[in-house]
A and B are shown apart, each in its own frame.
Chain A
């Protein structure tokens, strides 16, 4: 099989070609992975190519990089799957992290954020004689999160981190969930309190990149959504995000549809006058163009039925 691999180069000592793509044509077996191809380039063509890898079996998490614009483990990605008709494949370092050389990134950002969530168990009271016991059920639930191999793929492609370095980002938030949901941990409420603040669970845009790119099915975004729910349950419900979720639910419940005007007022906080005014110019312009949502929302005929379904399912909780 013929493969064309375009690699984005970076060498701090010889910056002439930094950021440019270099193309390599290779003859490889059908089962070849992107990592195999890169190693072949390094061994046969250009010994200066910087690639980080170890296990070659999607266990160690060291070969994270972007293939055709999306973060992947190079050792888990077959060339045939990303180049169905022999199209060139682009290979770049991960995003949201500084590049050390070629495809190798500095993962300090990743580790710093992980440390920030205190990723260790903090039980309370006297230590038991043997081990701390937790139910099978609770641990089985946590296995999904514990599967994280710290490859950085989710952090690379997180769209919020790209604009806000303060965001705790998906891997560390998933790790935070691992302890929030651990029945042996005693600091659940404090953890949720911290995660409720700026840079925490409410700053995620739900773009699903982390879910899509994670090679281990950790689904960080789903954990973040769960923590929003837990934070509201724990009484942290006076944030714009919490008000937004509540207002949305009540609009659908009463009208069957979304009431955008009410949503904006509720999310900003009815007593947040500066916040309300900040929305105003946009609203006025929208009104002039004849497109502001009707103030009382649009109700649908079947709204009574929807309300009944709502109450029934909510009652099941």
Chain B
């Protein structure tokens, strides 16, 4: 299994712990990858808002680079995954449109024939390795922890572009991974809602209300942590949680660590938390890691 890995702008910038933990986990899982340094930003839906064809052309350029290498694309960001999937659906369902885009790319010596597969790491875990295959790599039992899932809009909607109808396991993939680690799933209504990030800089009051509502509900439901496959959700839910709590909670506190998908997987694989970048979180993961160190026992084989 080898992938053209696109970390996305955020894993390379504001959430370096996602980058670190992904590398740590991939190496141990035996998933081979080649990092794509020549890809462009997917546009994150913002560029598409201004000029959809431009966004699509940039994404098709990325698809063409991977196609040339003969590798499927692996993403680690719900937003990258969703934006790429939507662009892919548009060009595959409209041959004339793909042709127009290919005309632009031809001048750069590129052409896309429509064969690149694009998958989020979360899907690779449950579809390629499979829950049982994943469990074989686990050495620590996380049943001492309760974890709430948070998907990120782009990994859930629009369901047809993401193939949720054809591959139903994707819809509950995050819960499947949490269960595989032995942790208890804290289910809550907001797990598929918006984290508020897109309007953080536009309408911060609303954005913070969303942060407080999701993290607060999960915390009240007994969660020790919330896990997300989207670094943009992480930025908002982690970075703005204390501000959101001050404005929206009677006691002014939530203190729920927000962890990245590969960090959760890494803990279950027994990788040292420092290697997974937990020290870089804004909401401290100290209590979480103390429980982990004290209670997550070795799995007997």
Contacts and interface: CB of A to CB of B under 8 A. Distances in A.
B202 A202 contact: yes
B240 interface: yes
Interface of B: 9-10, 12-17, 37-41, 43-51, 53-54, 57-58, 61, 104-105, 107-108, 153-154, 157-159, 168, 189, 193-194, 196-199, 201-207, 209-210, 213, 239-240, 243, 279-282
A249 B40 contact: no
Interface string A112-152: 00000000000000000000000000000000000000000
Contact of B47 (A160, A239, A248): A248
Interface residues of A, number: 65
A203 B13 contact: no
Contacts of B210: 159, 163, 205
A249 B213 contact: no
Contacts, number: 173
Given A160-B206, A291-B16, 14 more contacts: A163-B209, A208-B157, A212-B159, A240-B203, A245-B50, A251-B41, A256-B40, A258-B44, A278-B204, A289-B282, A300-B38, A300-B39, A305-B108, A310-B54
Contact of A293 (B13, B107, B203): B13
A260 B53 contact: no
Counting from the closest, the 4 A-B pairs by CB-CB distance are A267-B201, A207-B194, A208-B157, A293-B13
Contact of A206 (B153, B201, B203, B280): B153
A244 to B, nearest CB: 6
Contact of B38 (A225, A267, A291, A302): A302
A292 B201 contact: no
A229 B40 CA distance: 23
Contacts of B281: 289
A203 B199 contact: yes
A309 B104 contact: yes
Given A164-B209, A256-B41, A286-B282, A294 B13 contact: yes
B240 A159 contact: no
A317 B57 CA distance: 14
Interface string A240-275: 110011101101100011101001100110000000
A289 B47 contact: no
A252 B47 contact: yes
A267 B13 contact: no
B136 to A, nearest CB: 27
A16 interface: no
Contacts of A225: 48-49
A306 B40 contact: yes
Contact of A248 (B37, B44, B153): B44
A84 B168 CA distance: 11
B94 to A, nearest CB: 16
Contact of B50 (A206, A249, A257, A281): A249
A204 to B, nearest CB: 8
A292 B37 contact: no
A209 interface: yes
Contacts of B205: 164
22 contacts: A159-B193, A160-B199, A162-B213, A163-B213, A203-B199, A203-B203, A207-B153, A209-B194, A211-B158, A212-B157, A240-B201, A245-B49, A246-B50, A257-B41, A264-B201, A281-B243, A286-B14, A294-B13, A309-B54, A313-B51, A313-B53, A313-B54
Contacts of A310: 54, 58
A101 B84 CA distance: 43
Nearest to B43: A252
Contacts of A159: 193-194, 210
B105 A309 contact: yes
Interface string A283-317: 00110011111100010111001101110111011
B272 to A, nearest CB: 18
A262 to B, nearest CB: 11
Contacts of A316: 53
Among A206, A249, A263, A285, the one with the most B-chain Cβ atoms within 10 Å of its Cβ is A206
B201 A268 contact: yes
Contact of A300 (B14, B37, B57, B206): B37
B148 to A, nearest CB: 16
B73 to A, nearest CB: 16
Contacts of B51: 249, 313-314, 317
Given A203-B199, A207-B157, A264-B201, A282 B54 contact: no
Given A205-B196, A258-B9, A294-B13, A309 B58 contact: yes
A228 interface: yes
A83 B167 CA distance: 16
Contacts of B58: 252, 306, 309-310
Best-surrounded residue of B10, B194, B196, B281 (most CB of chain A within 10 A): B194
Given A202-B203, A208-B158, A309-B104, A229 B50 contact: yes
Contacts of B203: 164, 198, 202-203, 240
Contacts of B47: 248-249, 252
A260 B194 CA distance: 20
